[in-house]
Amino acid sequence: MLSGRTNPCGRLPVSVPRGPGAQPATYLGARLAHVSEVSTIDPTPAFGFGHGLSYTEFDWSDLVVAVNEVPTDGAFHLAFTVRNTGGRHGTEAVQLYLDDPVASVVQSVQRLIGYTQVALEPGEAQRVRVRVTVPADLASFTGRDGRRVVEPGELELRLAASSTNPRLTATVTLTGPNATWTTQGASMRSSSKERERIRQTTLDRFRHGRHLPVVAARISLQVRLNCPVGQS
């Protein structure tokens, strides 16, 4: 890899801090944990989350959002072009970040909600299509009542090569009432019996020193890479 025979395509799973004063170094920090007009702290990392190197270069362009407004329990599509502008075969890591600037619970500046890799020959381009389902993987967060919720409002989406290197941005507005969901599906309110069962299970695991289960949301990000530019 150092000789150039192999083109790297890996990405950092963490942020590398610039100095000891930048800890904790995470791209998931709150707004006051980043550079701002009311703070002298500059936690800008030496290398951001998702950073990587390549012996070729890529150009991102032609971002299209199917709709500007979508219900809080709906879905929308993004499409954009990635082109290898260098002289080597390479693989670009396309990362999709979300910024929810106004919410009932303070959110991080951005969070990764999906990613994929695009392998391209020199001069080759591909049209990348992304389908995002709102409640499951986009804007949901744990509300003040302890349930996952999607609130109406404006969201900013960033297609980026890393957490510190956005390439394309788009704005989508969620409309309608709050949508709550559980691990069984979107827009579902958990019953009091189910909440009590979860609470009791959690207490039992703490008492007996067992690890808590990790409940993962079903990711609905789908990227189709088999559609060259100029074809649908």
Backbone angles phi, psi at 181, to 5 degrees: -150, 160
The rounded Cα 33 to chain-centroid distance in angstroms is 19
| Residue 64, beta-bridge partner list | 79
Residue 210 has pLDDT above 60, yes or no: no
pLDDT tens digits, one per residue of 30-63: 666 667 777 777 778 889 999 999 999 999 999 9
Q: How many CA atoms lie within 13 A of 190 on its CB side?
A: 17
Domain range list for the chain: 56-219
**Residue predicted with more confidence, 25 or 127:** 127
**Predicted confidence band of residue 125 (pLDDT cuts 50, 70, 90):** very high
Residue 220 has pLDDT above 80, yes or no: no
How many whole angstroms separate alpha carbon 225 and alpha carbon 116?
9
pLDDT tens digits, one per residue of 134-190: 655 577 888 888 888 888 889 899 999 999 999 999 999 988 888 776 554 433 343
Cβ count within 10 A of residue 28: 15
Q: Which of 189, 199, 192, 79 shows the shortest CA–CA distance to 131?
A: 79
Fold of the 56-219 domain: Immunoglobulin-like (2.60.40)
Which residue is listed with tokens 């960033």?
Answer: 158
Highest mean pLDDT of the ranges 23-27, 123-127, 191-195, 215-219: 123-127
